[in-house]
């Protein structure tokens, strides 16, 4: 699954510039001078429009804006270079107009400072300046994690209250497959309330285990990841997929957790391990 998604993203990234180049060639062949004339006649409207779009993105999509800030800056200066080329093609270079050229360059720099650089300025003269946007963003992320953690704690407590303790010490799990199915069923309640797909894999044979992971999850484990699982280390493949080894108490198994929506939290790992330990209490003594 993850490998297929990565391959699709790579294909899209490689195909996009080729498509853009093809569109440029077609535009030049069909419209030629008309396209250049349109860009020259509307260059300031296009620049102002791009600036307005960036401002809109910074307000409406702050996370995307923060993560893509450097790419947007590169695009902004690319437009500056293209705009200057079109301007010089239109009116030619005149030494007497150097003030106008400098003014246009300063305009681009000032927009860069106002939109991209200002939130990262740490010092003006001798005065320290807090990076307000970054601090607010971190605070928002912390608040979100705290709320999610509280929600997980309530859900975990509800699951604990519903456990049938009278069945402790009644199960015979001589066969690893019986144990795997029982543990997966036991963890289903947590996965359902937290919107997570929880799958339990047998870990008696590494080659069979890796094949089952590849078939079920569409993930190809590398040697380093397999070694870490053998060392009882949790392996987080990305923000939404994690493999948790649980091999010591009864039978060797690996618990796979895949979130349907939100990134997994550290507390998810702890609660799932706690539930797996509680599940062992059902085994006959």
Angle at 250 between CA 249 and CA 254, to 5 degrees: 85
Half-sphere exposure of 260 (CA within 13 A, CB side): 8
Inter-CA distances, 74 with 71, 79, 80, 114, 242, Å: 5, 9, 10, 15, 35
Q: What are φ and ψ of residue 89, in 5° steps?
A: -65, -30
Residue 48 confidence (pLDDT): 78
Q: Which residues pair with 254 in a beta bridge?
A: 201, 245
Instruction: Classify the phi-psi angles of 124: left when phi > 0, otherwise alpha if psi is within -120 to 50, otherwise beta.
Output: beta
* Burial (0-12, 13-18, 19+ Cβ within 10 Å), 242: buried
Q: What is the pTM of this model?
A: 0.49
Q: Distance between CA 240 and CA 238 in Å, rounded?
A: 5
pLDDT reported for residue 125 = 47
Helix axes 69-91, 33-41, angle to 10 degrees: 110
The contacts found for 24-27 with CB under 8 angstroms, 24 or more apart, are: none
Contact 257, 196 (CB under 8 A): yes
pLDDT of amino acid 72:
74
Domains and CATH numbers, the chain: 11-132 (no CATH), 138-280 (3.30.70.2720)
Round to whole Å and give the CA distance between 169 and 76: 67
pLDDT along the chain (285 residues), means of 10: 52 68 64 63 73 79 74 74 70 70 72 60 46 53 72 78 70 79 82 82 82 80 81 81 82 84 79 82 70
CB 120 within 8 A of CB 131: yes
β-pairing, 127-128 vs 241-246, is unpaired
The predicted structure's pLDDT at residue 216: 80
The answer to whether residues 79 and 50 touch, using CB atoms and an 8 Å cutoff, is yes
């Amino acid at each position: 699954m993850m490998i297929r998604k990565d391959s699709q993203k790579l294909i899209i990234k490689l195909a996009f510039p080729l498509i853009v180049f093809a569109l440029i060639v077609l535009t030049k062949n069909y419209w030629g001078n008309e396209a250049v004339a349109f860009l020259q006649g509307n260059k300031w409207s296009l620049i102002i429009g791009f600036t307005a779009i960036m401002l809109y993105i910074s307000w409406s999509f702050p996370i995307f804006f923060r993560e893509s800030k450097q790419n947007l800056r590169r695009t902004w200066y690319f437009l500056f270079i293209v705009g200057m080329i079109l301007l010089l093609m239109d009116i030619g270079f005149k030494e007497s107009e150097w003030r106008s050229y400098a003014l246009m360059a300063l305009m681009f720099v000032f927009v860069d400072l106002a939109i991209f650089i200002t939130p990262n300025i740490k010092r003006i003269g001798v005065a320290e300046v807090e990076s307000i946007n970054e601090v607010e963003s971190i605070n928002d992320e912390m608040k979100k994690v705290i709320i999610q953690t509280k929600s997980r704690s309530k859900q975990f407590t509800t699951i604990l209250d519903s456990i049938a303790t009278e069945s402790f010490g009644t199960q015979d799990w001589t066969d690893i497959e019986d144990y795997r199915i029982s543990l997966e069923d036991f963890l289903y309640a947590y996965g359902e309330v937290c919107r997570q797909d929880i799958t339990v894999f047998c870990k008696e044979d590494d080659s069979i285990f890796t094949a089952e992971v590849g078939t079920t999850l569409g993930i190809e484990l590398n040697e380093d990841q397999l070694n870490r699982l053998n060392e009882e280390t949790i392996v987080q493949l990305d923000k939404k997929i994690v493999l948790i080894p649980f091999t010591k108490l009864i039978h060797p198994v690996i618990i796979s957790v895949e979130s349907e929506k939100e990134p997994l939290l550290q507390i998810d790992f702890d609660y799932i391990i706690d539930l797996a330990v509680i599940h062992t209490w059902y085994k006959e003594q």
